[in-house]
Structure 1
């Protein structure tokens, strides 16, 4: 399947003129680190040209397709020593972060099951080796000197996993990203403003805790002090979610998820979690439960780093897409609710992040887990009731929509 050149150019414009720089687009002289696999070459090239056209500079990490019969990562996992699998070239990656103003990842899986049959522990070892890179990025981002974004390039493997034809899969991408609009950048700015209005109403409520209730969930989430709600603001394309990083210590109850997730190259379905005082005390899955338990066993990956809601009125995504970027933004009949186990987003803090010590982050209940931030999603119906600082309660979300304008 070859994408229409006009759609490719619009997609690139959305990423360069809107998504990067937290929804503002890049400035002349900015440096973009562009990451993609060879299967995404046409979009990779369109974005690269758009960066140059905007007056930016480019660093690239263009990778061979990661497929089972010719995957360097799989070869390493099957044949490498633990020292090789956990190798991390700190000076190289520190140099990339130092030289970069924006990072743009093109998500494309030419073989979504490339690590099938490999031990989860080995894959976790390889993933964990990149934790220092994430910390470098986080530190620069907190200083307000780095932005990042993600976008999706559909492949036959991903479409098959989602139960769609490649044309149907790309139709979801085109609709979700507003690529048929005459000016998709302007459309994104309009939608983002609508989402910001909802976010502002949530912040004004001074919510202390949430009760999420439905057939497959009875969960309490403590928001914590000095928190604000965030929206994608260009950090993901598409992004319709509104989220915060709660005080992990106040999560209690159970939740089951009707959407699968992918971790360590494995599909994990039928996930169920039970929390006591913020910690996962029971976890199960109907498919690849060993991978779920391997993930939860990582240090602090048994605690919540994010709670999120998506209003179905904004999202045009109507189908499971076998990638978190889309599945966590699904609209459909009831929007979606998701939580992430692992690392918290410190930019949900209402003050100056640069002045806060690690001890203070811990005191406020921000979970620290650089190795893991895994979103787990459910699209079933539920009602979210907020307890406010004055002790009153207010339903803020039901039937897939925020209801903040209602009494």
Structure 2
């Protein structure tokens, strides 16, 4: 299936004129690092041309398709030594970060199960090797000199995994990204303003702790001081979520996730996590539990880095998509909630986060885990009650939407 030229053009315009630069769009002379597999060629080319037409520059990382029978990554994991699997070309990646103003990833899985049968420990070793790159990016982002964004390109493998036809799968993408609007860039900016209005009301409440309660969840999440709420702001397309980085030390209770997690090419289903004083003390899954435990076993991946809610009134996503980018923004009957195990988003700090030391981040309970930031999603019904810093309580989320005056 191919998108028609008008939809490709609109998709590229959304990514270049809204998504990059944290919702502000590209500026003349900016350099974009564009990453995608060969399956995404038509969108890759449309975005590249849009960057050039806007006066920008490109560094490209155009990758061969990851297909189980012919994947370089799979070949490396099956045949490489530990040193090869853990190889990291630091000067190269430092150069990419130094030269780049914006990173734009086109997410696509030509074969969603291409890593099936590979030991989780090998995948973790490969992922861990990229931790220095993530740190490089984080430091430049802290200085306000780097933005990143993601978008999705549908494949038959992804559609099949989600139980949809390829046409149905792409229909979700088109609707979620407002590509049938006459001016999708303006539409995104309008939606962003509406979401920011909710975000501002949450900030004004000065929340200490959230209590998430439902048939499959009873969880306390401490927000704590020195936090603000954020929305996507162009970092994900689509993004309807509102999120913050909690004080990891104040997470207690149990939560079940009714949506599967796709981690390192593996589907992990029916995840349940139990927290005590911020640490995962029990974890289970009915499918690929070993991959879940391998992920959690990495340093500080057993702590929460993000808590998020999506209001069903904004999201046009109505189907399970077997992809975190879309599933964490699903609307449906009850909206969705997700937490991320691993690294905290430091831009949820309300001050100059570039001036905060590592010791100060730790003192405030911002989790540090450059190797992992893994979103796990639930769309079951829940009520979220905030205990405010003055000791009063207020329901802020019910029946899939925010209830703020």
Same fold (TM over 0.5): yes
Looking at structure 2, the residues matched to 355 and 53 of structure 1 have their Cα atoms a distance apart, in angstroms, of 36
Q: Which residue of 2 aligns with 1:230?
A: 230
Tell me by how many angstroms 1:20 deviates.
Answer: 0.3
Moved over 6 A (4+): none
Does residue 384 (structure 1) correspond to residue 384 (structure 2)? The answer is yes
Deviation string for 1:312-358 (max 9, x for gaps)?
Answer: 00000011111100000000000000000000000000111111110
Looking at structure 2, the residues matched to 209 and 69 of structure 1 have their Cα atoms a distance apart, in angstroms, of 48
Q: Which residue of 2 aligns with 1:107?
A: 107
Looking at structure 1, the residues matched to 297 and 143 of structure 2 have their Cα atoms a distance apart, in angstroms, of 31
Q: Which residue of 1 aligns with 2:60?
A: 60
Give the secondary-structure state (helix, strand or coil) at the position aligned to 2:42. Answer: helix
Looking at structure 1, the residues matched to 354 and 289 of structure 2 have their Cα atoms a distance apart, in angstroms, of 39
Give the secondary-structure state (helix, strand or coil) at the position aligned to 2:109. Answer: coil
Deviation string for 1:7-32 (max 9, x for gaps)?
Answer: 00000000000000000001000000
The within-5 A match list for 1:356-375 is 356-375=356-375
Does residue 25 (structure 1) correspond to residue 10 (structure 2)? The answer is no
Tell me by how many angstroms 1:178 deviates.
Answer: 0.2
Looking at structure 2, the residues matched to 220 and 329 of structure 1 have their Cα atoms a distance apart, in angstroms, of 22
Q: Which residue of 2 aligns with 1:259?
A: 259
Looking at structure 2, the residues matched to 140 and 354 of structure 1 have their Cα atoms a distance apart, in angstroms, of 9
Looking at structure 1, the residues matched to 192 and 327 of structure 2 have their Cα atoms a distance apart, in angstroms, of 19
Deviation string for 1:192-242 (max 9, x for gaps)?
Answer: 000000000000000000000000000000001110000000000000000
Does residue 126 (structure 1) correspond to residue 132 (structure 2)? The answer is no
Deviation string for 1:53-96 (max 9, x for gaps)?
Answer: 11100000000101011100000000000000000000000000
Looking at structure 2, the residues matched to 385 and 180 of structure 1 have their Cα atoms a distance apart, in angstroms, of 37
Looking at structure 2, the residues matched to 7 and 31 of structure 1 have their Cα atoms a distance apart, in angstroms, of 24
Q: Which residue of 2 aligns with 1:197?
A: 197
Deviation string for 1:256-302 (max 9, x for gaps)?
Answer: 00000011211000000000000000000011110100011000000
Looking at structure 2, the residues matched to 168 and 355 of structure 1 have their Cα atoms a distance apart, in angstroms, of 47
TM-score (ref. length: structure 1): 0.99
The within-5 A match list for 1:158-169 is 158-169=158-169
Looking at structure 1, the residues matched to 74 and 91 of structure 2 have their Cα atoms a distance apart, in angstroms, of 25
Tell me by how many angstroms 1:404 deviates.
Answer: 0.5
Looking at structure 2, the residues matched to 354 and 142 of structure 1 have their Cα atoms a distance apart, in angstroms, of 5
Q: Which residue of 1 aligns with 2:290?
A: 290
Q: Which residue of 2 aligns with 1:404?
A: 404
The within-5 A match list for 1:81-230 is 81-230=81-230
Deviation string for 1:343-399 (max 9, x for gaps)?
Answer: 000000011111111000000000000000000000000000000111100000000
Give the secondary-structure state (helix, strand or coil) at the position aligned to 1:369. Answer: coil
Q: Which residue of 2 aligns with 1:270?
A: 270
Give the secondary-structure state (helix, strand or coil) at the position aligned to 1:255. Answer: strand
Looking at structure 2, the residues matched to 72 and 264 of structure 1 have their Cα atoms a distance apart, in angstroms, of 15
Tell me by how many angstroms 1:306 deviates.
Answer: 0.2
Give the secondary-structure state (helix, strand or coil) at the position aligned to 2:195. Answer: helix
The within-5 A match list for 1:318-329 is 318-329=318-329
Looking at structure 2, the residues matched to 204 and 15 of structure 1 have their Cα atoms a distance apart, in angstroms, of 31
Give the secondary-structure state (helix, strand or coil) at the position aligned to 1:234. Answer: coil
Looking at structure 1, the residues matched to 13 and 128 of structure 2 have their Cα atoms a distance apart, in angstroms, of 33
The within-5 A match list for 1:234-245 is 234-245=234-245
Give the secondary-structure state (helix, strand or coil) at the position aligned to 1:181. Answer: coil
TM-score (ref. length: structure 2): 1.00
Looking at structure 2, the residues matched to 232 and 327 of structure 1 have their Cα atoms a distance apart, in angstroms, of 14
